[in-house]
Structure 1
Protein backbone atom coordinates (compact mmCIF):
# COMPACT_ATOMS: atom_id res chain seq x y z
CA UNK A 1 0.00 0.00 0.00
CA UNK A 2 2.88 2.33 0.80
CA UNK A 3 4.13 2.18 -2.81
CA UNK A 4 0.88 1.27 -4.58
CA UNK A 5 -1.01 4.44 -3.61
CA UNK A 6 1.77 6.80 -4.79
CA UNK A 7 1.91 4.90 -8.09
CA UNK A 8 -1.86 5.27 -8.44
CA UNK A 9 -1.88 8.99 -7.64
CA UNK A 10 1.04 9.60 -10.01
CA UNK A 11 -0.93 7.74 -12.68
CA UNK A 12 -3.89 10.06 -12.06
CA UNK A 13 -1.74 13.15 -12.65
CA UNK A 14 -0.06 11.64 -15.70
CA UNK A 15 -3.45 10.67 -17.16
CA UNK A 16 -4.75 14.15 -16.44
CA UNK A 17 -1.81 15.68 -18.33
CA UNK A 18 -2.33 13.38 -21.30
CA UNK A 19 -5.98 14.41 -21.41
CA UNK A 20 -5.02 18.09 -21.24
CA UNK A 21 -2.78 17.57 -24.28
CA UNK A 22 -5.63 15.76 -26.08
CA UNK A 23 -8.07 18.49 -25.08
CA UNK A 24 -5.75 21.16 -26.40
CA UNK A 25 -5.52 19.32 -29.71
CA UNK A 26 -9.31 18.97 -29.86
CA UNK A 27 -9.94 22.69 -29.41
CA UNK A 28 -7.41 23.47 -32.15
CA UNK A 29 -9.59 21.30 -34.39
CA UNK A 30 -12.66 23.27 -33.18
CA UNK A 31 -14.20 20.20 -31.52
CA UNK A 32 -15.65 22.13 -28.60
CA UNK A 33 -17.90 19.48 -27.03
CA UNK A 34 -15.16 16.85 -27.11
CA UNK A 35 -12.70 19.43 -25.74
CA UNK A 36 -15.08 20.22 -22.89
CA UNK A 37 -15.59 16.54 -21.95
CA UNK A 38 -11.88 15.72 -22.10
CA UNK A 39 -10.85 18.78 -20.10
CA UNK A 40 -13.49 18.15 -17.43
CA UNK A 41 -12.26 14.56 -17.15
CA UNK A 42 -8.69 15.86 -16.83
CA UNK A 43 -9.82 18.23 -14.07
CA UNK A 44 -11.64 15.38 -12.31
CA UNK A 45 -8.50 13.24 -12.37
CA UNK A 46 -6.46 16.15 -11.01
CA UNK A 47 -9.01 16.63 -8.22
CA UNK A 48 -8.95 12.90 -7.43
CA UNK A 49 -5.16 13.11 -7.23
CA UNK A 50 -5.32 16.07 -4.85
CA UNK A 51 -7.82 14.37 -2.54
CA UNK A 52 -5.92 11.06 -2.44
CA UNK A 53 -2.53 12.76 -2.07
CA UNK A 54 -3.85 14.87 0.81
CA UNK A 55 -5.36 11.84 2.54
CA UNK A 56 -2.18 9.84 2.05
CA UNK A 57 -0.10 12.68 3.46
CA UNK A 58 -2.27 12.94 6.56
CA UNK A 59 -2.80 9.22 7.20
CA UNK A 60 0.46 7.61 6.04
CA UNK A 61 2.93 10.46 5.70
CA UNK A 62 5.43 11.24 2.96
CA UNK A 63 8.58 9.46 1.88
CA UNK A 64 11.81 11.30 2.54
CA UNK A 65 14.57 11.40 -0.06
CA UNK A 66 16.80 8.39 0.51
CA UNK A 67 19.50 9.25 -1.99
CA UNK A 68 23.08 10.32 -1.38
CA UNK A 69 23.73 13.49 0.59
CA UNK A 70 25.31 15.30 -2.36
CA UNK A 71 21.97 15.07 -4.26
CA UNK A 72 19.81 16.26 -1.36
CA UNK A 73 20.01 20.02 -2.02
CA UNK A 74 19.40 19.69 -5.81
CA UNK A 75 16.52 17.31 -5.07
CA UNK A 76 14.95 19.70 -2.54
CA UNK A 77 15.23 22.63 -4.96
CA UNK A 78 13.57 20.48 -7.63
CA UNK A 79 10.86 19.39 -5.16
CA UNK A 80 10.13 22.94 -3.99
CA UNK A 81 9.94 24.09 -7.61
CA UNK A 82 7.48 21.28 -8.31
CA UNK A 83 5.37 22.18 -5.25
CA UNK A 84 5.22 25.88 -6.19
CA UNK A 85 4.41 25.06 -9.82
CA UNK A 86 1.76 22.50 -8.91
CA UNK A 87 0.06 24.88 -6.50
CA UNK A 88 0.16 27.71 -9.03
CA UNK A 89 -1.15 25.53 -11.84
CA UNK A 90 -3.99 24.28 -9.63
CA UNK A 91 -5.09 27.87 -9.00
CA UNK A 92 -4.78 28.64 -12.71
CA UNK A 93 -6.78 25.49 -13.45
CA UNK A 94 -9.64 26.63 -11.25
CA UNK A 95 -9.61 30.09 -12.85
CA UNK A 96 -9.55 28.54 -16.33
CA UNK A 97 -12.54 26.32 -15.51
CA UNK A 98 -14.50 29.20 -13.98
CA UNK A 99 -13.90 31.31 -17.10
CA UNK A 100 -15.15 28.45 -19.29
CA UNK A 101 -18.28 27.93 -17.19
CA UNK A 102 -18.99 31.67 -17.33
CA UNK A 103 -18.47 31.51 -21.11
CA UNK A 104 -15.70 34.09 -21.05
CA UNK A 105 -13.92 32.21 -23.79
CA UNK A 106 -11.45 34.90 -24.88
CA UNK A 107 -9.90 35.05 -21.40
CA UNK A 108 -10.34 31.28 -21.01
CA UNK A 109 -8.32 30.76 -24.19
CA UNK A 110 -5.50 33.05 -23.09
CA UNK A 111 -5.20 31.69 -19.56
CA UNK A 112 -5.90 28.12 -20.68
CA UNK A 113 -2.75 28.04 -22.79
CA UNK A 114 -0.64 29.04 -19.80
CA UNK A 115 -2.50 26.65 -17.50
CA UNK A 116 -2.06 23.73 -19.88
CA UNK A 117 1.68 24.24 -20.22
CA UNK A 118 2.08 24.60 -16.45
CA UNK A 119 0.04 21.43 -15.86
CA UNK A 120 2.08 19.44 -18.38
CA UNK A 121 5.30 20.54 -16.66
CA UNK A 122 3.77 19.81 -13.24
CA UNK A 123 2.82 16.30 -14.31
CA UNK A 124 6.29 15.66 -15.71
CA UNK A 125 8.04 16.94 -12.58
CA UNK A 126 5.59 14.97 -10.41
CA UNK A 127 6.49 11.80 -12.28
CA UNK A 128 10.17 12.64 -11.77
CA UNK A 129 9.60 13.10 -8.01
CA UNK A 130 7.82 9.73 -7.89
CA UNK A 131 10.73 8.02 -9.67
CA UNK A 132 13.27 9.68 -7.37
CA UNK A 133 11.37 8.79 -4.18
CA UNK A 134 9.94 5.37 -4.95
CA UNK A 135 12.20 3.86 -7.61
CA UNK A 136 15.71 5.30 -7.39
CA UNK A 137 16.12 6.58 -3.82
CA UNK A 138 13.34 5.39 -1.49
CA UNK A 139 13.62 6.68 2.04
CA UNK A 140 11.77 6.43 5.31
CA UNK A 141 8.23 7.68 5.80
CA UNK A 142 7.86 10.88 7.78
CA UNK A 143 5.69 13.94 7.99
CA UNK A 144 5.31 16.28 5.03
CA UNK A 145 7.72 18.64 6.77
CA UNK A 146 10.31 15.86 6.98
CA UNK A 147 9.88 15.23 3.27
CA UNK A 148 10.15 18.84 2.06
CA UNK A 149 12.68 20.12 4.59
CA UNK A 150 14.54 16.89 5.22
Structure 2
Protein backbone atom coordinates (compact mmCIF):
# COMPACT_ATOMS: atom_id res chain seq x y z
CA UNK A 1 0.00 0.00 0.00
CA UNK A 2 2.75 2.45 0.99
CA UNK A 3 4.52 2.13 -2.35
CA UNK A 4 1.31 2.54 -4.32
CA UNK A 5 0.38 5.70 -2.42
CA UNK A 6 3.94 7.03 -2.64
CA UNK A 7 3.70 7.20 -6.42
CA UNK A 8 0.11 8.49 -6.45
CA UNK A 9 0.17 11.21 -3.80
CA UNK A 10 -1.71 13.86 -5.87
CA UNK A 11 -4.40 11.37 -6.86
CA UNK A 12 -4.87 10.00 -3.34
CA UNK A 13 -4.91 13.54 -1.91
CA UNK A 14 -7.56 14.43 -4.50
CA UNK A 15 -9.75 11.45 -3.64
CA UNK A 16 -9.46 12.11 0.11
CA UNK A 17 -10.29 15.78 -0.52
CA UNK A 18 -13.43 14.96 -2.50
CA UNK A 19 -14.64 12.50 0.15
CA UNK A 20 -13.86 14.92 2.99
CA UNK A 21 -15.52 17.91 1.35
CA UNK A 22 -18.55 15.81 0.43
CA UNK A 23 -18.96 14.95 4.12
CA UNK A 24 -18.46 18.60 5.14
CA UNK A 25 -20.98 19.94 2.64
CA UNK A 26 -23.35 17.06 3.35
CA UNK A 27 -23.41 17.96 7.03
CA UNK A 28 -23.52 21.73 6.45
CA UNK A 29 -26.34 21.49 3.91
CA UNK A 30 -28.35 19.04 6.00
CA UNK A 31 -28.23 16.13 3.54
CA UNK A 32 -26.91 13.67 6.12
CA UNK A 33 -29.93 12.11 7.83
CA UNK A 34 -29.96 12.90 11.54
CA UNK A 35 -31.16 9.37 12.24
CA UNK A 36 -27.73 8.05 11.17
CA UNK A 37 -26.03 9.97 13.96
CA UNK A 38 -26.05 9.11 17.65
CA UNK A 39 -28.00 11.64 19.70
CA UNK A 40 -25.92 13.41 22.33
CA UNK A 41 -27.42 15.25 25.28
CA UNK A 42 -27.94 18.97 24.73
CA UNK A 43 -25.12 19.86 27.16
CA UNK A 44 -22.67 17.99 24.89
CA UNK A 45 -23.89 19.83 21.79
CA UNK A 46 -23.77 23.13 23.68
CA UNK A 47 -20.18 22.46 24.77
CA UNK A 48 -18.88 21.77 21.24
CA UNK A 49 -18.29 25.42 20.25
CA UNK A 50 -16.16 26.08 23.35
CA UNK A 51 -14.30 22.80 22.94
CA UNK A 52 -13.62 23.67 19.30
CA UNK A 53 -12.38 27.14 20.28
CA UNK A 54 -9.93 25.50 22.68
CA UNK A 55 -8.89 23.03 19.97
CA UNK A 56 -8.34 25.94 17.57
CA UNK A 57 -6.16 27.77 20.06
CA UNK A 58 -4.12 24.64 20.72
CA UNK A 59 -3.80 24.00 16.99
CA UNK A 60 -2.45 27.52 16.44
CA UNK A 61 0.19 26.95 19.12
CA UNK A 62 1.11 23.49 17.84
CA UNK A 63 1.33 24.53 14.18
CA UNK A 64 3.44 27.52 15.19
CA UNK A 65 5.72 25.23 17.20
CA UNK A 66 5.99 22.83 14.28
CA UNK A 67 6.95 25.69 12.01
CA UNK A 68 9.59 26.84 14.52
CA UNK A 69 10.99 23.33 14.92
CA UNK A 70 11.43 22.69 11.21
CA UNK A 71 13.29 25.98 10.87
CA UNK A 72 15.47 24.90 13.81
CA UNK A 73 16.17 21.56 12.11
CA UNK A 74 14.24 19.55 14.71
CA UNK A 75 12.50 17.26 12.24
CA UNK A 76 11.06 14.75 14.72
CA UNK A 77 9.49 17.51 16.79
CA UNK A 78 8.16 19.16 13.62
CA UNK A 79 6.62 15.89 12.48
CA UNK A 80 5.04 15.26 15.89
CA UNK A 81 3.63 18.79 16.02
CA UNK A 82 2.19 18.70 12.53
CA UNK A 83 0.64 15.26 13.05
CA UNK A 84 -0.85 16.58 16.29
CA UNK A 85 -2.18 19.58 14.37
CA UNK A 86 -3.82 17.29 11.84
CA UNK A 87 -5.40 15.26 14.64
CA UNK A 88 -6.70 18.43 16.28
CA UNK A 89 -8.08 19.59 12.93
CA UNK A 90 -9.82 16.24 12.43
CA UNK A 91 -11.26 16.36 15.96
CA UNK A 92 -12.45 19.93 15.41
CA UNK A 93 -14.07 18.99 12.12
CA UNK A 94 -15.80 15.88 13.46
CA UNK A 95 -17.24 17.80 16.42
CA UNK A 96 -18.27 20.76 14.27
CA UNK A 97 -19.91 18.59 11.60
CA UNK A 98 -21.69 16.49 14.22
CA UNK A 99 -23.21 19.60 15.80
CA UNK A 100 -24.12 21.17 12.45
CA UNK A 101 -25.62 17.92 11.11
CA UNK A 102 -27.88 17.68 14.17
CA UNK A 103 -28.70 21.35 14.79
CA UNK A 104 -27.79 23.26 11.65
CA UNK A 105 -25.54 26.31 11.60
CA UNK A 106 -25.69 28.71 14.54
CA UNK A 107 -27.46 31.91 13.49
CA UNK A 108 -25.69 35.22 14.09
CA UNK A 109 -27.57 37.14 16.79
CA UNK A 110 -25.77 40.48 16.49
CA UNK A 111 -26.79 43.61 14.56
CA UNK A 112 -27.38 43.20 10.84
CA UNK A 113 -24.69 45.72 9.93
CA UNK A 114 -22.09 43.70 11.88
CA UNK A 115 -23.41 40.50 10.32
CA UNK A 116 -23.08 41.83 6.76
CA UNK A 117 -19.83 43.75 7.01
CA UNK A 118 -17.85 41.88 9.69
CA UNK A 119 -19.22 38.44 10.51
CA UNK A 120 -20.07 37.14 7.03
CA UNK A 121 -16.79 38.32 5.40
CA UNK A 122 -14.75 36.77 8.23
CA UNK A 123 -16.78 33.56 8.09
CA UNK A 124 -16.45 33.39 4.30
CA UNK A 125 -12.67 33.81 4.37
CA UNK A 126 -12.41 31.27 7.22
CA UNK A 127 -14.44 28.71 5.25
CA UNK A 128 -12.61 29.37 1.99
CA UNK A 129 -9.20 28.95 3.64
CA UNK A 130 -10.36 25.78 5.40
CA UNK A 131 -11.52 24.34 2.07
CA UNK A 132 -8.26 25.29 0.36
CA UNK A 133 -6.27 23.74 3.22
CA UNK A 134 -7.85 20.30 2.90
CA UNK A 135 -6.10 19.16 -0.32
CA UNK A 136 -2.87 20.90 0.68
CA UNK A 137 -2.83 19.17 4.05
CA UNK A 138 -3.56 15.78 2.53
CA UNK A 139 -0.81 16.33 -0.04
CA UNK A 140 1.93 17.31 2.44
CA UNK A 141 0.81 14.68 4.93
CA UNK A 142 0.93 11.93 2.32
CA UNK A 143 4.35 13.08 1.12
CA UNK A 144 5.60 13.01 4.70
CA UNK A 145 4.24 9.59 5.66
CA UNK A 146 5.17 7.78 2.43
CA UNK A 147 8.84 8.77 2.34
CA UNK A 148 11.84 8.47 4.58
CA UNK A 149 12.76 11.75 6.27
CA UNK A 150 15.86 12.28 4.10
CA UNK A 151 13.73 12.27 0.90
CA UNK A 152 11.16 14.83 2.03
CA UNK A 153 13.27 17.96 1.32
CA UNK A 154 13.53 16.89 -2.35
CA UNK A 155 9.73 16.79 -2.68
CA UNK A 156 7.25 19.66 -2.82
CA UNK A 157 6.52 19.11 0.88
CA UNK A 158 8.57 22.10 2.15
CA UNK A 159 7.10 24.55 -0.36
CA UNK A 160 3.48 23.40 -0.18
CA UNK A 161 3.81 22.87 3.57
CA UNK A 162 4.69 26.53 4.12
CA UNK A 163 1.61 27.59 2.15
CA UNK A 164 -0.64 25.07 3.88
CA UNK A 165 0.59 26.01 7.37
CA UNK A 166 0.12 29.74 6.69
CA UNK A 167 -3.43 29.29 5.43
CA UNK A 168 -4.18 26.83 8.20
CA UNK A 169 -3.05 29.29 10.89
CA UNK A 170 -5.12 32.12 9.42
CA UNK A 171 -8.17 29.86 9.11
CA UNK A 172 -7.91 28.74 12.74
CA UNK A 173 -7.43 32.35 13.90
CA UNK A 174 -10.47 33.54 11.92
CA UNK A 175 -12.42 30.61 13.33
CA UNK A 176 -11.66 31.88 16.83
CA UNK A 177 -12.91 35.35 15.88
CA UNK A 178 -16.09 33.81 14.44
CA UNK A 179 -16.54 31.88 17.69
CA UNK A 180 -16.14 35.07 19.73
CA UNK A 181 -18.68 36.91 17.58
CA UNK A 182 -21.21 34.05 17.75
CA UNK A 183 -20.88 32.94 21.37
CA UNK A 184 -19.21 35.68 23.39
CA UNK A 185 -19.84 39.13 21.92
CA UNK A 186 -23.37 38.49 20.65
Q: Normalization by structure 1: what TM-score?
A: 0.85
> Does residue 7 in structure 1 map to residue 50 in structure 2?
yes
SS at match of 1:17: helix
Specify the alignment match of 2:61 in structure 1: 18
CA contact (8 A) 1:3 1:134 kept: no
Gaps of 5+ in 2: 1-42
- Partner Cα separation in structure 2 for residue 28 and residue 9 of structure 1: 28
> Does residue 66 in structure 1 map to residue 109 in structure 2?
yes
- Partner Cα separation in structure 2 for residue 21 and residue 49 of structure 1: 18
> Does residue 79 in structure 1 map to residue 120 in structure 2?
no
CA contact (8 A) 2:126 2:172 kept: no
Specify the alignment match of 1:130 in structure 2: 179
Specify the alignment match of 1:141 in structure 2: none
Q: 1:77-115 CA distances to partner (integer Å, 9 max, x unpaired)?
A: 221111111111122111111121233433100001011
Specify the alignment match of 1:121 in structure 2: 170
Pick from 135, 144, 159: which aligns with 1:110?
159
Tell me by how many angstroms 1:37 deviates.
Answer: 1.1
The structure with more radius of gyration: 2
Tell me by how many angstroms 1:35 deviates.
Answer: 1.1
Gaps of 5+ in 1: 138-150
| 4+ runs deviating over 4 angstroms | none
Question: How many residues of Structure 1 are paired with residues of Structure 2 in the alignment?
Answer: 137
Specify the alignment match of 2:25 in structure 1: none
Alignment RMSD, CA only? 1.4
Tell me by how many angstroms 1:63 deviates.
Answer: 1.3
Tell me by how many angstroms 1:14 deviates.
Answer: 1.9
SS at match of 1:62: coil
- Partner Cα separation in structure 2 for residue 59 and residue 3 of structure 1: 12
